[in-house]
Homo-oligomer: A and B are copies of this chain.
Amino acid sequence: MTDIVKGLRIVEVSAFIAAPYAGLTLAQMGADVIRIDPVGGGLDHKRWPLTRDGQSLYWAGLNKGKRSIMLNVREDEGRALAHALMTKPGPGSGIVLSNLPARGWLDFANLKAMRDDLIMMNITGNRDGSVALDYTVNAAAGFPLVTGPADQPVNHVMPIWDVLAGMTAANGILAAERHRRQTGKGQFVSLALADTAFSTLSHLGYIGEVQINGDARPATGNQVYGTYGQDFATLDGRRVMITAFTPRHWRALVTATETGDRMATVADLFGSNLDREEARWEARDAITAVLKPWFGDRDLGDIRATLDQAGACWGPYQSFTQAVEEDPRISTDNPMFETVDQPGIGPYLAAGTMLDFTAAPRAPVSPAPQLGADTDAILVGELGLGDGEIGRLHDAGIVAGAD
C-alpha cells in the first residue's frame, strides 16, 4: 500500500478477476475502494482455491485493501443506497468500476443524471457486450496453438487477459480522472477483454506476420523465436531456462559453460557469427546439443553459482511450492511482501503494489475485508445514516453485514 493516489474513491461492482484486479491496483496505491456485493456474496465469493474451511483464497487475494458492503440491489432501497455511494459529491469521488453489464441499476445515463461528472469504467467480454472469458479469448487469439510441444492446443494457466484488462482499467480510471480535473467532465470508459488479446497481436507483430509476410509464428516449444532460449534438465532432476538475447548474455553463457571452442565450430558449421541473434536462432539445435551435457552433469546449485558468476541470463523452473518456500523474492526480504493476518484465513504472505514510489513510501499491506465487514461503517460514514435506520435496513434485508 502507498498513498500515491489518496483521495480517489471508487465504487466497485464486480466479479472474478478483471474489475477486482483494477480495484485492487488502485486500492494498493491508496484509493478508497468500496466493493458492493449482493447479500451472501457474488459469483466469485467462493471461487477456488479455497481453504479447508471453505474460504476463498482467490477472493481474499483480489480484494485486499478494499472495503466491503452488502446491498440487496434487487430492491429499490438497496439500489438507492448503491447509487448514493456511486454519486456522492467530492472531487475524488464519483468513480464507478464494474465488469457487470452497464444497464439496469448500472445504467450510466441514470447515474450521470445524479452526478453529472461521473466516471464509469466498464469492462465487457466482447466489445458488443457478448460474453467472453479469458479462456475463450485466449483460444481465439492464437497462442494456445503455438504453446507447448504437442500439436494440441495448450491453454495458459495464468489468466493473462483478465489481469491485463484489470491493469488497463486502472489506467483508464487514472486517465479519465486526470481529464475530469482538467475539464470538469466525467465520462463512460469501456474496455473489452477480447481487445486486450487482439491489441497484443498488433503490438507484438503477429498481425504483421500474417498480413505482410503471409505466414505466422511457428510453434517452437520452449525455444524463443528469433534468438536463443532453451530449457535444460539438470543432474538433480530440476530444469532451468536459459536465454541469450544479447551478445553479452551469449558470451556469458559460453564462458560459463566453457564451450567457446565448440561454439566456434558451430559458427563455422553455419558460416555465421553467433553474436547475432538470428544466427543463434538458425543454429539453435546445434547450440542446444553442445550445452545439454553441461547442464545434465551438474546440480542446480553448481549451475546457479557458475552462471551467476559469469552474468548469464537464466532462471530455474520452480513449482508454486518451491517458489513460495525457496525463492527469497517471495518473502518479506522483498519489500513488496508482508505477512498479513487475513480474517477467516490466517497469516500469510501478501503482496502490496508492485510500484515503488519514492514520494509515497509503502504503508502496511491491508488484508481483504470479510464480506460485508464495512456495511454499517459505510452507511454511517459515507451516507450519514443513523443507527435506527441502519437497523431497519438490516431487518428488511436491504443490507447485510459480516457475521
A289 CB–B CB distance under 8 Å: no
The interface residues of chain B lying within 8 Å CB-to-CB of A39 are none
Q: Size class of A's contact patch?
A: 35 or more
Copies of this chain: 2
Instruction: Mark contacts of A184-212 with chain B using CB atoms, 8 A cut-off: 1 yes-contact digit, 0 otherwise.
Output: 01111111101110111111111111111
Given known A-B contacts A60-B205, A133-B245, A359 and B187 have beta carbons under 8 A apart: yes
A145 on the interface (CB 8 Å rule)?
yes
Q: Chain B contacts of A168 at CB under 8 A?
A: 167, 354-355
Which chain B residues border A47 with CB–CB below 8 Å?
Answer: 226-227, 277
A137 lies within 8 A of chain B by Cβ:
yes
Give the contacting residue for A317; candidates B144, B192, B323, B354; CB below 8 A: B144
Instruction: Tell me whether A359 and B200 are in contact (CB under 8 A).
Output: no
Q: Which of A68-76, A157-165, A256-264, A382-390 contacts B (4 or more CB under 8 A)?
A: A157-165
Instruction: Please name all residues of chain B whose beta carbon is closer than 8 Å to the beta carbon of A155 when the two chains form the complex.
Output: 147, 221-222, 231, 241
Q: Which residues of B contact A337 (CB under 8 A)?
A: 198, 202
* Per-position binary interface string of chain A over residues 346-386, scored 1 when its CB falls under 8 Å from any chain B CB and 0 otherwise: 10111100111111100000000000000000000000000
Contact with B along A221-251 (1 / 0, CB 8 A): 1101111010100000001110101100100
Q: Does chain B have a CB within 8 A of A43?
A: yes
Q: Decide: A147 and B147 in contact? CB cutoff 8 A.
A: yes
Report the 9 A-B pairs with minimum CB-CB distance, sorted nearest first: A48-B226, A136-B315, A57-B205, A57-B208, A187-B359, A202-B351, A142-B320, A199-B351, A216-B320
User: Are the C-beta atoms of A318 and B200 separated by less than 8 Å?
Assistant: no
Bound CA span A204–B192, Å: 21
Which chain B residues border A336 with CB–CB below 8 Å? 127, 195, 198-199
Other than the known A51-B212, A57-B208, A210-B324, what 18 A-B pairs have Cβ atoms closer than 8 Å?
A48-B227, A58-B205, A131-B313, A135-B241, A136-B313, A139-B316, A140-B327, A142-B319, A146-B320, A168-B355, A174-B178, A183-B359, A198-B330, A198-B351, A199-B351, A206-B320, A211-B348, A212-B345
For A17, give the chain B residue with the smallest CB separation: B204
CB neighbours of A345 from chain B (8 A): 208, 212
Task: Tell whether A136 pairs with B329 under 8 Å between CB atoms, given A57-B205, A208-B348, A321-B216.
Answer: no
Q: State A88–B376 Cα separation when bound (angstroms).
A: 50
Q: A208-B49, A316-B139 are in contact. Are A196 and B358 (CB under 8 A)?
A: no
A56 contacts the other chain (Cβ, under 8 Å)?
yes
Q: How far is the CB of A142 from chain B (nearest CB, A)?
A: 4
Could you say which residues of chain B place their CB within 8 Å of the CB of A329?
126-127, 140, 194-195, 198
Residues of B within 8 A of A98 (CB): none
